[in-house]
Amino acid sequence: MSEVFTVIPETCEAAAVKLIGVVVKRFTDICLFICVQFVKFLQQR
């Protein structure tokens, strides 16, 4: 019974780490996209 309780947190932790990685990557991509659009906008003026 105790083995089950040790496996679950590890699985959740791995899933959380993977999820955070995806979110951070997505956030970085969005920031880069916004920065590029902003620079283009400034160059057009």
- Mean of pLDDT values over 10-20: 92
pTM: 0.58
pLDDT band per the 50, 70, 90 thresholds, residue 10: confident
- Within 1-45, residue ranges assigned H as helices are 2-44
Domain segments of the chain as ranges: 1-45
Average pLDDT score, the chain: 90
Confidence band (pLDDT; 50, 70, 90) for 20? very high
For residues 3 and 23, give the distance between their C-alpha atoms in angstroms, rounded to a whole number.
31
Q: Is 7 helix (H, G, I), strand (E, B) or coil?
A: helix
